[in-house]
A and B are shown apart, each in its own frame.
Chain A
Amino acid sequence: MFDAFIQGLFVVLQWKAFLMMLLGIFLGFWVGLLPGLGGSTTLALMLPFIYKMTPEEAFAFLLGMHSVVSTTGDITSVLFGVPGEGTTAATIVDGHAMAKKGEAGRALGAALMSSLVGAVIGALALALSIPVVRPLVLTFGAPELFMLAVVGIAFISSLSGQGGRSLLRGVLAGLLGLLFAMVGEDPQAGVQRFTLGQLYLWGGLDLVPVLVGLFAIPEIVDLAVRGTSIASDLPKGDLGKGVWEGIKDTFRHFWLTVRCSLLGTFIGIMPGLGGGVAQWIAYGHAVQGARSDEERKGFGKGDVRGVLGPGAANNSKEGGALIPTIAFGVPGSSAMAILLGAFFLQGIMPGPDMLNKYVTLTFSMVWTLVIANIITVAASLLFLAQLARLTLVRGSILIPFILFLAFIGSYTSNNHLGDLLVFLFFGGLGYLMVVCGWPRSPLVLGFVLGKIAENNFYISTIRYGSAWLLRPVVLVLVILTVAVIVYPLLPFRRTSAPAGRA
């Protein structure tokens, strides 16, 4: 096995495969930066080009591209408050807030470094879990997936802010998110819910226009109202220095980064949980780390831990998502479903073969994930100081550009006018929520988990009656849910906070 592990490295380092990977990275770099281009769409478009490549080159190319998309997507999220990818929206909450405080460099450094740590841990998990992956995935049936979604929804408790009033608002926002998740045709009886007679809404609301609207529009309005640059009143020249600070932050909160990476990997392994989920649960977990009221209030206003958590998780989930694809031929996300097509195209049948006959190829994929991210982070670091200066550009120059990106980004999800209406609607809603002091993260959490919870609850009940409630893993997850809800409410945490920490 170890031989194959080393051989996998050499496979990636062969000049042709390496060149293909560089090409993939170059493409992925831009795809991530631009909100309009999604990672999975680009994968689908690139598929015809691998026809004449060897499997090693093909996967170096495709994975090289795919694995850096979440890394550079974080950059757009931090700088402009527009999610570069659907999977990098959670980085906005604290990352963009930091940019507004003039800490764009630090936020970017933290986002990139945590992405790298996440990618490495995800890849390691992929390498290590290869022998045990089958029992692990098979343990999680519909009841367990339902409970996982519930655990995720329970994070609303820590995302809501302190006090009864804030908690109530958080819960209501979460419920609203669940309600938005119900839009579209329900898969049980084929009934149309909240579709308002519009064909467009049959398939439900798309993640990208909802997120872009919710986060980008309030920022754009804010920027226009302030009439300054994103980082308004700052001594120039400090921006770039922060990058190193951000990298150090990753290691200052190293355990948090590792924990969020593992969370991301685990969510990636679970098929059907989807790419949007990992970042938000990781964000919720990062907020949980706050030791006092004071610290809690800092989240959403630019706490670097709020960048590290999702930054790590949205990269580590890629390694995780490869696991079911390789071991079962069952894709863990839409991007992986397209990658599965690439396997067929190369005449490879994913499944047990990947662990013996093609084990070198499998390990070469692990290495691609690691090397591609190292290269991307290194390349980005060269530009970061320059990129951070974008936050000093006058708002009136920047706004048309950001608006353009936001509109294009929303429109490309279905190429339908409805995308723009959804974008504007959620923009208005997001703005109202910001003005009235309602938290947006619980709404997103409810939205991304709603359908998963509903479908798996239904499957569990139809299949097992009420017996599923007593399955051991379900019971463990119930306890975990209670812990997640109660933990931020415990009174001792408020008093025992060490003084002076912020």
Chain B
Amino acid sequence: MIRFKLAVFSLLFLLSPVFSQAAEFSGKTLTIVVGYKPGGGYDRYARLLGKHLPRYIPGNPTIVIQNMPGANSIISANHLYSVAKPDGLTIGTFNNALVVAQLIKVEGVRYDIAKFSWIGSVASDAVILALRSDLPYRTAEDLRRAKEIIIGTTGPGSSTHDFPSLLKEFAGINLKLVPGYSSSSDIMLAIERKEVDGRAGSYDSIIPFIDRGLVRPVLRNRLSVPGIEKLPVDEELATTPKGKAVMAINAAPTAIYRPYVAPPGTPADTMKVLRDAFAKVTMDRELLAEAKKTKMGIDYTPAEQVLKVIHEVLNQPPEITKELSKYIKFGD
């Protein structure tokens, strides 16, 4: 009898590493904090992941989405940094440009983005400049020669504004920025009624209007995706090295378009479970099919690479940082 008990014990002992990991999540609820209201891009990605992730986490936890909007997601980042418990049961997603907000020392930033326990990013996205198809601008040369091109934007702190404002400043293109539109689809309508000539923004969001023949892409940032590989890149048009450097920093966060983190200090074995789950779920056939239907690109970047991008952005000489903060604002 004793021998039998011993055998059971030793078996349990041998199996314990497997059990303990599974026990961590089974019967628990994993919360994904989203820095925006329901319905937006960040929220839609989180809900898509929340639907498919449980199958890839041992113990199949229940996943809930908690929307924590405000201050262009700084509120949620601060929460994840200093309030949420580092037990793997709370993870979150926020604006990819929060690293830039930290670099230019935006008021209210209470996090150090490099210290989060990074899971990775589930998508990347190229930023492009698209102009109305009936306008005669096709090449970079055409753009330089243009007398004035009117660009609608939603205001400083968004790619619709920052990307063209750097082009105007550092590439000698005569753009006239008209900020104040309430959303990027509002700008599309303004393009349609010829109030403005074009807009910048994520390639994904402009594709439908390119397909419809309303606009034509003319420029992109350093990130390339199939379909726009041959477009001229903004950095190539920069007239000074300083301008080129500023454009590069501005472009960096788009490589980590949909970032996911856990609070700093989350145990390494828990992080491994989460990272594995994200790596696997972004290859899941069902998830990919659903993402394709809803026009959400999926492109997983593992934590190490995300951190590389982040350190690259943060390690700037002061004069570049200063220059950047002149043209880039971070806001809601």
A192's closest neighbor in chain B, by CB?
Answer: B331
Task: Tell me if B309 counts as interface (CB < 8 A to partner A).
Answer: no
Given A199-B75, A414-B70, A187-B185 contact (CB < 8 Å): no
Q: Which residues of B from 54 to 77 have beta carbons under 8 Å from A?
A: 66-72, 74-75
Given A328-B189, A463-B178, A43-B39 contact (CB < 8 Å): yes
Report the Cα distance A404→B192, complex, angstroms.
Answer: 46
Per-position contact with B for A193-214: 1 when CB-CB < 8 Å, else 0? Answer: 0000101101110000000000
Cross-interface CB contact of B157 among A190, A351, A455, A463, cutoff 8 Å: A190
Chain A residues, Cβ within 8 Å of B155: 185-188, 190
Stretch in B43-51, B166-174, B222-230, B312-320 with 4+ CB within 8 Å of A = B43-51
Number of residues on chain A facing chain B (CB within 8 A): 55
Report the Cα distance A199→B155, complex, angstroms.
Answer: 18
Chain A residues, Cβ within 8 Å of B329: 189-190
Most A-side CB within 10 Å, residue of B75, B188, B208: B75
Chain B residues, Cβ within 8 Å of A351: 212
Task: Tell me if B179 counts as interface (CB < 8 A to partner A).
Answer: yes
Per-position contact with B for A320-336: 1 when CB-CB < 8 Å, else 0? Answer: 00001000111100100
**A375 nearest CB across to chain B (Å):** 26
A188's closest neighbor in chain B, by CB?
Answer: B179
Cross-interface CB contact of B331 among A40, A138, A202, A455, cutoff 8 Å: A202
- Whether A415 and B196, one on each chain, are in contact in the complex, defined by CB atoms closer than 8 angstroms, is no
Chain B residues, Cβ within 8 Å of A328: 188-189, 192
Chain A residues, Cβ within 8 Å of B190: 141-142
Task: Tell me if B3 counts as interface (CB < 8 A to partner A).
Answer: no
**A48 nearest CB across to chain B (Å):** 6
- Whether A40 and B75, one on each chain, are in contact in the complex, defined by CB atoms closer than 8 angstroms, is no
Q: Give the interface SS of chain A, mostly helix, strand, loop or mixed.
A: helix
- Whether B189 and A271, one on each chain, are in contact in the complex, defined by CB atoms closer than 8 angstroms, is yes
Report the Cα distance A197→B69, complex, angstroms.
Answer: 17
Cross-interface CB contact of A341 among B39, B180, B332, cutoff 8 Å: B39
Report the Cα distance A186→B179, complex, angstroms.
Answer: 10
Report the Cα distance A329→B211, complex, angstroms.
Answer: 13
Task: Tell me if A1 counts as interface (CB < 8 A to partner B).
Answer: no
Cross-interface CB contact of A141 among B44, B74, B195, B211, cutoff 8 Å: B195
Report the Cα distance A187→B183, complex, angstroms.
Answer: 11
B209's closest neighbor in chain A, by CB?
Answer: A329
Cross-interface CB contact of A190 among B156, B192, B290, cutoff 8 Å: B156
Given A142-B195, A200-B75, A463-B70 contact (CB < 8 Å): no
Given A271-B189, A345-B294, A351-B212, A202-B38 contact (CB < 8 Å): no
**A502 nearest CB across to chain B (Å):** 43
- Whether B290 and A51, one on each chain, are in contact in the complex, defined by CB atoms closer than 8 angstroms, is yes
Chain B residues, Cβ within 8 Å of A51: 290
B157's closest neighbor in chain A, by CB?
Answer: A190
**B212 nearest CB across to chain A (Å):** 6
Task: Tell me if B293 counts as interface (CB < 8 A to partner A).
Answer: yes
Task: Tell me if B272 counts as interface (CB < 8 A to partner A).
Answer: no
Most A-side CB within 10 Å, residue of B70, B78, B186, B212: B70
Per-position contact with B for A168-200: 1 when CB-CB < 8 Å, else 0? Answer: 000000000000000011111110100001011
Task: Tell me if B240 counts as interface (CB < 8 A to partner A).
Answer: no
The 29 sampled A-B contact pairs (Cβ below 8 Å) are A40-B39, A44-B43, A47-B44, A48-B51, A185-B155, A185-B332, A187-B155, A188-B179, A189-B329, A190-B329, A190-B331, A192-B331, A199-B71, A200-B70, A202-B108, A203-B332, A272-B182, A328-B189, A328-B192, A329-B209, A340-B185, A349-B208, A414-B37, A414-B69, A415-B68, A416-B68, A458-B180, A459-B181, A463-B195
7 additional A-B pairs beyond A337-B39, A341-B44, A414-B70, beta carbons within 8 Å, are A48-B51, A199-B71, A199-B74, A331-B185, A337-B185, A345-B293, A463-B195
